Amino acid sequence: MLLPHGTLFAVVDGEHFELYRNAGTEAAPDLAAIEVPTLELTDYSSGGQDHDKVSRLQLGGPIGRLEKLEEAAHASAVAHWLNSEVLAHRIEKLVIIADPRTLGEMRRHYHGKLEEALIGELTKTLTGRKPDEIVEALRAH
């Protein structure tokens, strides 16, 4: 996968969101961390069937369902932020790296313009990894 200069990399899981920009070249990418926005988790309608189950949870009920809703809301918030950045022409080229569940939820919220800016996706958990490890994983893909 070619990683052009200026490409934005969104590395996401159910709780974390990291952003990097390729400050290097296509041949020698150099991912530089950039500031991550504060996201407001408001889309709790994400998560499909689990949303209906929340209203039936009672005190002491299964926490796993609530955690899944939080993760889905996080993925939705990241996708909506990325959409807004693409629509405002602040992102021209984008690579998204996320665990399978998060990536699946994010895809449900992609705007058409985000899909046009998307030059690659990698279904893998790489949050907390060093930039060199991220580039290596992308090259191995």
Q: How many domains does the chain have?
A: 1
Q: Is 40 exposed, middle or buried (0-12, 13-18, 19+ CB in 10 A)?
A: exposed
pTM of the model: 0.84
Supply the CATH number for residue 72's domain: 3.30.420
The domain of 78 spans: 8-140
Q: Is residue 89 part of a domain?
A: yes
pLDDT tens column, 24-78: 999 899 999 999 999 887 766 554 444 444 433 444 445 577 788 889 999 999 9
DSSP annotation of 7:
-
Q: Is residue 1 part of a domain?
A: no
